[in-house]
Chains A and B, each alone.
Chain A
Amino acid sequence: MSVDVNRHDPPSRGAATYQAGGWTSWLTTTDHKRIGVLYIVTSLGFFLVAIALALLMRTQLAVANNDFLSPQTYNQVFTMHGTTMIFLVVMPLLSGFANYLIPLQIGARDMAYPRMNALSYWVYVAAALTLYSSFIFSTAVDTGWFSYAPLTLPAYSPHEGIDFWILFIILAGMSSILGALNVAATIIKLRAPGMGLWRTPLFTITNFINSFLILAAMPSLTVAVSLLYLDRQFGTSFYAADLGGDPLVWQHLFWFFGHPEVYILILPAFGMISEVTPVFSRKPIFGRTALIIATGLIGFYGFTVWAHHMFAVGLPFWFNALMAGTSFTIAVPTGIKIFNWLATMWRGSLVFTTSLHFVLGFISLFVVGGLTGVTLATVPFDWQVTDTYYVVAHFHNVLLPGSLFGIMAGIFYWYPKVTGRLLNERLGKTQFWLFYFGFIATFFPLYIVGLLGMPRRVYTWDSGQSWDIYNLISSIGGFVIGLGVLVFAYNIVVSLRKGARAGNDPWDAWTLEWATTSPPPHENFQMLPAIYSARPLWDLKHPENPDAVAPEGVLSAAQIDNRIAQLEAEPERPYLSSIPILVAMGLLTVVAGMLLTTEIVVIAAVFVLGALVAWTFQPAPAPAISPPVGVDPPEFDREVRLRERFDSGTLGVLLFVFSEVIFFTSLIYAYVDLRMSQMTWPPEGLPDLEIGLTAVATLFLISSGVAAHYALISLEHQHKQRFRWVLALAIVLGATFLSIQGYEYLTADFGISDGVYGGTFFTLTGFHGAHVTAGLLAFLLIWARTFKKGGRFPTEHAARGVTYYWHFVDVVWLVIFTLVYLW
């Protein structure tokens, strides 16, 4: 039995409230679609800025010995171009699409954590303001997006632009981690009944994999910049070679983030290609399973190749060979993806929309970027071309025809879903050809000029080296792309009002987002069609030739009507909260205080804490469960058990802990690496650490963990009084640990600026102490709520999440105690 996919049309539920509220509702919205639009619009704004910066560079480099930009301005421009494109354009643009599309593609009403979703957007805005305000309050950062130490240390970069950049990175990292956590939890918890993980749309799947990449990669960067901040502001010497530090620690931490970051920028774009290609080939995606596995492998290998950015730094032979080997390996799954896309078109029926143009352009050019990537992994060749324009051409070849063409294919494909109107195809194709030939003209000459010996990041160059013609062509090409961007911007704006009406499903597509109106109503769906294959709408439209046979359990029309009636009767979920934006602006004030006037830091931090406490008291939106469906396949029971294994709060904590593991691993790596390179430990004149008292403190912390766990079990068994008292004990034990650590700090014979010894001790124990403090505050909050008259008793969910986090903090301490005190 098939279900009429258009039954929910026109939208009714939530439509009125969704429209009401005026412009301020954009500031307080927690609706995933509005947040998605905010992300997309903001990042497209920064896209224009980044393109302008690129054109400034190409203007400067068009001719030899040009003095259009001063050296420092040029260095700022290339740093800001890279930083903006990566952190303020491509990542948030992809976040925007993920936000908008994932709940629609999996048939959910919203993301798993709607308020946190708003928070990640507003923290991104705070990050952007931090970075760009450096133009006003200070000197913009000029050390490259990679900002290698020791160039970034105060001795060589005394200006505060570096500090702005550091705090910007910390905020941007926070935003991405919150966003990734949300995406992962949403996909784990909120898929519609019948949508097994392997049936999930490929854009959603790539985002699922991507969210783990972000969770694992960003903390390494956060550690790198935190240590840099300590070096700059607190006199530690993590990166200062003359004081025992090592600049290579920065490089390892940076590239452990930096390489996966490339995949973070491109995998969701691959996902878009995988959505667009089959629809415009009128065939299912070829080798779906192979594509998913390949994506997973690319993501995984991404973490095993970081040192291919460091072949010239003099690492051991075997290590370089290993990193070359793993890097080559990535070519295989990438090739699998390319061939599967080609095979999807093969024997298909190609509809030459603008979207498909971008797909074709993507394949034709991306393959060059992929292959030059293989050449760069070939160590001896890399020694020659690394840090030349060959590399600039290579990664633009990956990111422009790869990431950007993929995103453009996606924008032309989904714009009608978001706005209800189609983009202009003629303008779209004009833009495509400008991009296509503009790209070739801009970057192919740069491969050549790199082979001809032109280093990158030079603000000018001399004539007489055969570089002139290539640079000139490249600059002209850059402006051709710029023209394409203008056509694109015009198309986006004009089509909003004048574009042809799209209808619900303009492309005759097969995934769930096309089963609702354009734009979708507040809670996305009135009802979902039955899902028993990867193409639910194909099955619906082609009952004569479905991908899979409908299983038993399809509901009758009467049952469906009944479900719709139930849904209509449900109260609407709240979708406005002013707390996320307040938290983000509080964080921005903390950062501003750290940069400009330290007095306000404490006030702002207290404000943020207060807002977070208020957050926990605000009634949470009901869980964004999937709306009723037309089918209850038996296998859904299995899925239910799987996704009900953890409540969404605990799941969020576990995902966060995953990220924290990388954070502490990175920190501990820095400690071990630096300690191994010291002659003596502790250094001359500094005392060894006292183990006795700390061992006692360790016992307190472990006991606190045991107590917390017992409290949780008590709560699970509904022993509320016992829960209250045992939790209090856990808090006291934890606080005792902190007090002992505080005593140790006060009586220590050395400080944080006493070389690597003092720096690593205070940094490791300090970051751990901050985590203990956060855990204690969370416990206190739960404990306080046990006394709230008439209020709801703390749920198991909250207690379980914090308890798991507390166990993690214990384990980290055992590692730190072993490595710092016992070693």
Chain B
Amino acid sequence: MRLGSRLTRPPVALGLLLGILLTASGCEDAPSILQPRANEAAEIRNLAIILLAICGAIFLIVQAWLIYNIVRYRRRSAEEPVQDHGDIRMELTWTVIPILIVIVIFILTVNYMDVLTNPPSNMEIDVTGRQWWWEISYPAADFSTANEFYVPIDETVRARLEAADVIHSFWMPQIGGKTDMIPGHTNQSTFTITQEGEYLGECGEFCGVQHAHMRFLIFAVDAAAFSQWVEQQQQPAAAAEGEQAQAGEALFLSAGCGGCHTVRGLEGAAGLAGPDLTHVAGRTSLAAVTLDNTPENLARWIDKPQAVKPGNLMPEVAVSVDEIQALVAYLEGLE
């Protein structure tokens, strides 16, 4: 074993860790918890930085002592070293100081928990986790939607969280921490988004075969844009316009789509098993943020849902290419 490699080992580890951390905070596209866009995530980010500082210091002390031992106490002669069995002062030192550090971290933790638990809110929404999509209701405005929703910035929103089947977890990395959605329980999560934008939400608890594709988008907008969106969502679905779309509407009912999907204003389409499609054309994505919402993707999704998102609960319905085009035309009209 060369002395050189022995010397470099821990610093290499340290350098890698720090280097990676630094580059990570620069990742603009990521739903990174280090780039908070809400008060809650910002608080937690601050806490994380304090923790990193404390833990980093301890890490350095341990590595320094380890390296010192490796370099200084390499065996040089056959003679046995002094056989010492311990030192009570040293034991006390590395018992008492960690206890003090732990107390500090504990107080910090409770303080941050207190700040983040149940602040007063200005509006409420209901979010229900389902295999593998999200239902979002606005009780005050009396409508629900799926997988994509709007909230006003600088308002504290309280989300009441429930699960319809198995356990899911409501998580928006740039907005705040996870809260589980558990059958038989109602949990809540509050958040105050401070910057306009489109943020990713993800299911944070393994919930079955398509856990990976159970995501949502939250759009934080100013108050005016929010009211406008709410008004638009409250409207029933637009009537089908054009021959192809009207054929699609009829097919939507005859093929049984309405058994699972609600289209408000369309008689016979009041199913609750799948996402509400009243304003599906206004969404940017399909299948809980699995695909971009383009006519091609929509056609693909209707045609082969089990190929796009294997195991999901939407059955494959035997429809011809023309019929799919009709359905797409109809759904594209549901702004």
Is the C-beta of B253 less than 8 angstroms from some C-beta in chain A?
A: no
- B167 near A247: Cβ-Cβ < 8 Å: yes
- B311 near A545: Cβ-Cβ < 8 Å: no
- B74: A residues at CB distance < 8 A: 349-350, 352
Q: Kindly report which residue of chain A lies nearest to residue B24, judged by CB atoms.
A: A448
- B79: A residues at CB distance < 8 A: 349
Is the C-beta of A49 less than 8 angstroms from some C-beta in chain B?
A: no
CB of B71, distance to nearest CB on chain A (Å): 10
Q: Which of B31, B66, B102 contacts A453 (CB 8 A)?
A: B31
CB of B199, distance to nearest CB on chain A (Å): 10
- A466 near B30: Cβ-Cβ < 8 Å: yes
Is the C-beta of A796 less than 8 angstroms from some C-beta in chain B?
A: no
User: How far, in angstroms, from A517 to B24 measured CA to CA in the complex?
Assistant: 55
Is the C-beta of B32 less than 8 angstroms from some C-beta in chain A?
A: yes
Is the C-beta of B230 less than 8 angstroms from some C-beta in chain A?
A: no
Binary interface encoding of chain B residues 35-75 relative to chain A, with 1 for a CB under 8 A from any of its CBs, else 0:
00000010110011001100100110011011001100111
How many chain A residues have a CB neighbour from B under 8 Å? Answer: 105
- A547: B residues at CB distance < 8 A: 83, 85
User: How far, in angstroms, from A444 to B113 measured CA to CA in the complex?
Assistant: 28
Q: Which of A142, A338, A383 contacts B209 (CB 8 A)?
A: A142
Give chain B's interface residue range (CB within 8 Å of chain A): 35 or more
- B106 near A451: Cβ-Cβ < 8 Å: no
Of B139-147, B149-157, B179-187, the stretch lying at the interface with chain A is B179-187
Is the C-beta of B274 less than 8 angstroms from some C-beta in chain A?
A: no
Binary interface encoding of chain A residues 259-282 relative to chain B, with 1 for a CB under 8 A from any of its CBs, else 0:
000000000000000000000011
User: How far, in angstroms, from A383 to B23 measured CA to CA in the complex?
Assistant: 23
Assuming the contacts A241-B183, A314-B185, A452-B24, asked whether A348 and B81 have C-beta atoms less than 8 A apart, the reply is: yes
- A387: B residues at CB distance < 8 A: 169, 171, 178, 204-206
Binary interface encoding of chain A residues 340-382 relative to chain B, with 1 for a CB under 8 A from any of its CBs, else 0:
1011011111111000010011011101100110110111111
User: How far, in angstroms, from A465 to B174 measured CA to CA in the complex?
Assistant: 13
- B43: A residues at CB distance < 8 A: 380
User: How far, in angstroms, from A321 to B107 measured CA to CA in the complex?
Assistant: 10
Q: Kindly report which residue of chain A lies nearest to residue B82, judged by CB atoms.
A: A347
User: How far, in angstroms, from A386 to B204 measured CA to CA in the complex?
Assistant: 8
- B106: A residues at CB distance < 8 A: 324-325, 328
- B169: A residues at CB distance < 8 A: 312, 387
- B34: A residues at CB distance < 8 A: 451-452
Is the C-beta of B224 less than 8 angstroms from some C-beta in chain A?
A: no
- A460 near B206: Cβ-Cβ < 8 Å: no
- A290 near B91: Cβ-Cβ < 8 Å: yes
Is the C-beta of A287 less than 8 angstroms from some C-beta in chain B?
A: yes
- A375 near B48: Cβ-Cβ < 8 Å: yes
CB of A203, distance to nearest CB on chain B (Å): 18
Q: Which of A71, A361, A383, A448 contacts B178 (CB 8 A)?
A: A383
User: How far, in angstroms, from A385 to B174 measured CA to CA in the complex?
Assistant: 12
Assuming the contacts A281-B73, A321-B110, A453-B30, asked whether A374 and B105 have C-beta atoms less than 8 A apart, the reply is: yes
- A384: B residues at CB distance < 8 A: 33, 41, 44, 48, 173, 176-178
User: How far, in angstroms, from A434 to B203 measured CA to CA in the complex?
Assistant: 35
Q: Kindly report which residue of chain A lies nearest to residue B115, judged by CB atoms.
A: A380
User: How far, in angstroms, from A348 to B76 measured CA to CA in the complex?
Assistant: 10
Is the C-beta of A246 less than 8 angstroms from some C-beta in chain B?
A: yes
Binary interface encoding of chain B residues 102-125 relative to chain A, with 1 for a CB under 8 A from any of its CBs, else 0:
100110111011101100000000
- A452 near B73: Cβ-Cβ < 8 Å: no
- B182 near A247: Cβ-Cβ < 8 Å: yes
Is the C-beta of A283 less than 8 angstroms from some C-beta in chain B?
A: yes
User: How far, in angstroms, from A453 to B10 measured CA to CA in the complex?
Assistant: 28
Of B92-100, B236-244, B318-326, the stretch lying at the interface with chain A is B92-100
In the complex, chain A residues 17-73 whose Cβ is within 8 Å of any chain B Cβ = 70-72
User: How far, in angstroms, from A351 to B116 measured CA to CA in the complex?
Assistant: 52
Is the C-beta of A329 less than 8 angstroms from some C-beta in chain B?
A: yes
In the complex, chain B residues 178-237 whose Cβ is within 8 Å of any chain A Cβ = 178-180, 182-185, 187-188, 200, 202-212
- B184: A residues at CB distance < 8 A: 241-242, 245-247
Q: Kindly report which residue of chain A lies nearest to residue B48, judged by CB atoms.
A: A381
Is the C-beta of A436 less than 8 angstroms from some C-beta in chain B?
A: yes
The 10 closest A-B pairs by CB, nearest first: A383-B177, A241-B184, A466-B27, A453-B31, A458-B212, A241-B183, A453-B173, A452-B30, A466-B30, A371-B55
Other A-B pairs, 19, CB within 8 Å; known A381-B48, A384-B173, A452-B33: A144-B206, A150-B183, A241-B184, A248-B182, A284-B83, A317-B114, A335-B94, A348-B81, A375-B51, A375-B52, A378-B109, A383-B179, A384-B178, A436-B9, A440-B13, A444-B20, A455-B203, A464-B29, A545-B83
10 A-B residue pairs with Cβ-Cβ distance under 8 Å, sorted by A, are: A150-B165, A283-B84, A312-B169, A312-B204, A313-B187, A321-B113, A324-B106, A347-B81, A379-B109, A451-B24
Interface residues of B (CB under 8 A from A): 1, 6, 9-10, 12-13, 16-17, 20-21, 23-24, 27-34, 41, 43-44, 47-48, 51-52, 55, 58-59, 62-63, 65-66, 69-70, 73-77, 79-87, 90-91, 94-95, 98-99, 102, 105-106, 108-110, 112-114, 116-117, 131, 165-167, 169, 171, 173-174, 176-180, 182-185, 187-188, 200, 202-212, 310-311
